[in-house]
């Protein structure tokens, strides 16, 4: 992407950011169980950029969101537990402001020393962050910008949002792209512009409608398209098969048929499961049975791809030079219905080339199933942002950085 980077910023200042207040928009939107972080992947991914800035002497102010509070403070969505985890990962104290732009944030900013890091409270506790009104959003961006001298955009999971701390601040301060966003975009450019072949796309998750744009775009680029997860039952139904009580989007049947036809016309190998794991209800302890994909009982629902399909999917993935995967193959949270997702994840670790886990549930799945981040070429921190990029959409948080450069 044609945007200024942290290296450009450092070069322009002789490698020394001492005395410079740097506002970093990170993505710290992690899952919490009470105040316990259940997956700190996004926090760990934010560390290198923060370390690089602090190491150059910058006074680092980290802003981020957590969950979807309603534009007002809500203790359930406080970033304080995240700030504590960030301090552990950085190996240095991290200050925490219990507001975003108020008296506490101003006090901590004024007291911050060279190389120190502070986290501001959840940016979405302020209605101006997500407002559709440019003036309201802009007024909040003014308050954020007043705290800093430079802006670093490093929250890839939000670059598809036109929000104050993502978009508007970049118009008010010298703005550069952070290392995480830079790395994410470089991977996505490889997926869309110059993928090594064979290029395999694996899509899962619950709904076809969530993936329409990415299927539209990637069916023009991929060599193989593997479909699993809840969305597969719409494809099976479109082919005339009964799907029992499985998840079904009846309004997408014609779309599914069109994708099958387009894939065939373009010579794309569209692979659907030949067997599925079914159960009478959506439950962790429901009795699981393997049936042929074209012979699902009326009183059963599909909750995973079957072992034959898992083996086939894994074989195609292992033979690829480039793989993009977004969406689990089944209800991986339940052990009885996790085998399909685990098989695909294992195959990705064996790819001789670029393997990309496309954020969201896929990233959560690989970690829950015991895989480590370094077993994959890249694990995205932004499921929605990744998909919109792959759809060919313009992402406001990236567009504004390119404009500013």
Over the stretch 25-47, which tens digit does the pLDDT of each residue have? 999 999 999 999 998 999 999 99
Whether the CB-CB separation of 157 and 391 falls below 8 Å is answered with no
Question: Per residue in 66-117, pLDDT tens?
Answer: 999 999 999 999 999 999 999 999 999 999 999 999 999 999 999 999 999 9
Cα–Cα distance measured from residue 16 to residue 39, given in angstroms and rounded to the nearest whole number: 34
Binding residue per annotation — 302?
Answer: yes
- The one catalytic residue in 128, 205, 306, 360 is 360
Domain boundaries, the chain: 6-180, 196-391
Cα separation, 254 vs 259, whole angstroms:
9
Whether 207 is catalytic? yes
Give the C-alpha separation, 369 to 352, whole Å: 22
pLDDT tops 80 at residue 359: no
To the query of whether residue 42 is one of the catalytic residues in this protein, the response is yes
Structure confidence at residue 55 (pLDDT)? 98
Q: Is 361 annotated as a binding residue?
A: yes
Does residue 380 have a known ligand-binding role?
no
Domains 6-180 and 196-391 share a fold: yes
Binding site annotation covers 161? Answer: yes
Place of tokens 């981040």: 373
- Is the whole model's pTM more than 0.85, yes or no? yes
Stretch 161-179: mean pLDDT: 98
Distance CA 86, CA 105 (A): 18
pLDDT at 112: 98
Give the lowest-confidence range in 9-18, 137-146, 314-323, 385-394.
Answer: 385-394
Q: Are strands 199-203 and 175-177 parallel, antiparallel or unpaired?
A: unpaired
Asked if residue 107 belongs to a known ligand binding site, the reply is no
**Exposed e or buried b for every residue in 373-400, given b needs 16+ CB within 10 A?**
eebbbbbbbbbbbbbbbbbeeebbbbbb
3-state secondary structure of 195: coil
Does the annotation flag 367 for ligand binding? no
What fold does the segment set 196-391 form as a domain? Rossmann fold (3.40.50)
Residue 405 in this model has a pLDDT that exceeds 60: no
Ligand-binding site membership of 67 (annotated): yes
Q: Which one of 25, 42, 162, 221 is the catalytic residue?
A: 42
Q: Which class is domain 6-180? A: alpha beta
| 266: number of Cβ within 10 Å | 13
Residue 362 marked ligand-binding: yes
């Amino acid at each position: 992407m044609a945007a200024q980077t942290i290296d450009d910023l450092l070069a322009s200042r002789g490698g020394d950011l001492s005395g410079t207040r740097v506002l970093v928009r990170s993505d710290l939107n992690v899952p919490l169980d009470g105040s316990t972080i259940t997956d700190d992947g996004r926090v760990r991914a934010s560390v290198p950029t923060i370390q690089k800035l602090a190491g150059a002497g910058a006074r680092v102010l980290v802003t981020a969101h957590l969950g979807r509070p309603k534009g007002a403070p809500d203790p359930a969505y406080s970033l304080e537990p995240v700030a504590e985890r960030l301090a552990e990962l950085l190996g240095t104290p991290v200050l925490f402001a219990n507001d975003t732009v108020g008296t506490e944030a101003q006090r901590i900013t004024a007291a911050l020393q060279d190389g120190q890091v502070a986290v501001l409270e959840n940016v979405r506790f302020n209605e101006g962050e997500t407002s559709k009104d440019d003036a309201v959003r802009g007024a909040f961006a003014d308050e954020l910008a007043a705290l800093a001298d430079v802006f670093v955009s490093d929250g890839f999971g939000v670059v598809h949002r036109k929000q104050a701390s993502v978009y508007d601040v970049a118009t008010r301060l010298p703005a550069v792209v952070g290392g995480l966003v830079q790395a994410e975009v470089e991977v996505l450019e490889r997926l869309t512009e110059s993928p090594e072949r064979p290029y395999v796309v694996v899509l899962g998750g619950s709904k076809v409608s969530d993936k329409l744009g990415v299927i539209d775009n990637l069916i023009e680029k991929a060599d193989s398209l593997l479909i699993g997860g809840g969305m597969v039952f719409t494809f099976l139904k479109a082919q005339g098969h009964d799907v029992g009580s499985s998840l079904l989007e009846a309004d997408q049947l014609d779309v599914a048929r069109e994708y099958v036809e387009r894939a065939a016309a373009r010579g794309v190998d569209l692979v659907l499961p030949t067997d599925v794991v079914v159960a009478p209800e959506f439950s962790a302890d429901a009795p699981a049975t393997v049936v042929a994909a074209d012979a699902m009982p009326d009183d059963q629902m599909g909750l995973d791809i079957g072992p034959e399909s898992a083996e086939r999917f894994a074989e195609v993935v292992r033979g690829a030079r480039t793989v993009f995967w977004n969406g689990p193959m089944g209800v991986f949270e339940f052990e009885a219905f996790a085998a399909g997702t685990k098989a695909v994840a294992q195959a990705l670790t064996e790819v001789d080339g670029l393997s990309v886990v496309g954020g969201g549930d896929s990233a959560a799945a690989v970690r829950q199933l015991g895989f480590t981040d370094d077993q994959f070429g890249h694990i995205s921190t932004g499921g929605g942002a990744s998909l919109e990029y792959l759809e060919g959409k313009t992402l406001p948080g990236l567009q504004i950085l390119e404009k500013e450069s």
